[in-house]
């Protein structure tokens, strides 16, 4: 589902292992943005971990490590794996602006989630639900850098998308929209994909949809999303004894 990492000004950049986890869990391309001289600078379309780390390292060397950075790691849900669909994006009504792999803008946006309002089952689209939401809705909602000072504006974005956004402006202010951000060593992540690698359960359902599992090495248990539970999907109880929710489901006893 993608992951955003927001490193505030003065915080340490995430360690390599966390960047590696983020990329391996969301390996459909990455990018980042930062503010400098009143503009947001966006670099994206980095399709390997090596190219991402190399580019970010050079940027940090050139512009400094103390400024705010927003990193994004994509897991495609629409439009397939494309460099121009990687995040972040500039706030613009023009789709061509969002496709640029290097650009400067007044406001940049990184998104984590699936936006039902702009999602499509069509397989021939060359743009993502995020890109359509930015061009058709966000560009109308966010008019200037003071947008975040109006609570109703933030609530509207949340109600329309049920997602998380990191919105960075040229002055260096980054607004984190949506609930459930995870703080680790001063860096804010849109989910816990930075912690461990996610593994896929090896079987596919009849319709070709897989269900995923996350092994948490710190607790020694598997963690399934509600709709990815193997019992719910295929009446498969093989992971129950090692599942973090086992006691909640069975009261601590096998049945």
Kindly report, residue by residue over 227-253, the tens digit of the pLDDT: 667 777 667 777 777 788 877 776 544
Tokens 């992540």 sit on residue: 189
Cis (ω within 30 of 0) for the bond into 88?
yes
What are the b/e assignments for 190-227, b being 16+ CB within 10 Å? bbbbbbeebeebeeeeeeeeebebbeeeeeebbbbeee
- Closest by CA to 38, choosing from 207, 173, 209, is 173
Question: CA distances (Å), 154 to each of 13, 65, 149, 203, 217, in order?
Answer: 27, 29, 9, 40, 36
Token output for 28 = 């459909």
- In this prediction the pTM is 0.78
List pLDDT tens digits, range 96-150: 999 999 999 999 999 999 999 999 888 789 999 999 999 999 999 999 999 999 9
What are the b/e assignments for 94-112, b being 16+ CB within 10 Å? ebebbbbeebbbbbbbbbb
Average pLDDT, the chain: 87
pLDDT exceeds 80 at position 180: yes
E strands in 37-163: 39-46, 69-73, 89-90, 102-105, 107-112
Q: Architecture of 3-194 per CATH?
A: 4-Layer Sandwich (3.60)
Percent of the residues in the chain that have a pLDDT greater than 70, as a whole number: 85
Domain-by-domain residue ranges, the chain? 3-194, 198-250
């Amino acid at each position: 589902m993608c992951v955003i990492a927001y490193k505030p000004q003065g915080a340490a950049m995430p360690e390599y292992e966390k960047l590696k986890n983020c990329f391996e869990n969301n390996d459909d391309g990455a990018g980042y943005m930062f503010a400098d001289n009143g503009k947001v600078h966006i670099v994206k379309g980095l399709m390997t971990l090596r190219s991402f780390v190399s580019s970010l390292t050079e940027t940090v060397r050139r512009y400094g490590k103390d400024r705010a950075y927003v990193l994004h790691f994509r897991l495609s849900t629409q439009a397939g794996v494309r460099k121009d669909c990687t995040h972040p994006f500039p706030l613009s009504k023009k789709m061509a602006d969002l496709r640029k792999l290097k650009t400067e803008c007044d406001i940049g946006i990184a998104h984590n989630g699936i936006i039902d309002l702009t999602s499509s089952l069509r397989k021939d689209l060359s743009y993502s639900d995020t890109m359509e939401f930015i061009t058709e809705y966000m560009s109308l909602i966010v008019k200037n850098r003071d947008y975040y000072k109006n609570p109703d504006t933030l609530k509207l974005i949340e109600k329309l998308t049920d997602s998380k956004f990191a919105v960075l402006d040229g002055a260096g202010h980054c607004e984190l929209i949506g609930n459930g951000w995870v703080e680790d060593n001063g860096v804010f992540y849109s989910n816990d994909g930075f912690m461990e690698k996610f593994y896929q359960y090896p079987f596919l359902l009849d319709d070709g949809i897989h269900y995923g599992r996350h092994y948490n090495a710190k607790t020694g248990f598997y963690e399934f999303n509600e709709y990815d539970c193997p019992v719910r999907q295929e009446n498969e109880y093989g992971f129950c004894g090692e599942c973090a929710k086992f006691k909640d489901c069975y009261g601590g006893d096998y049945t």
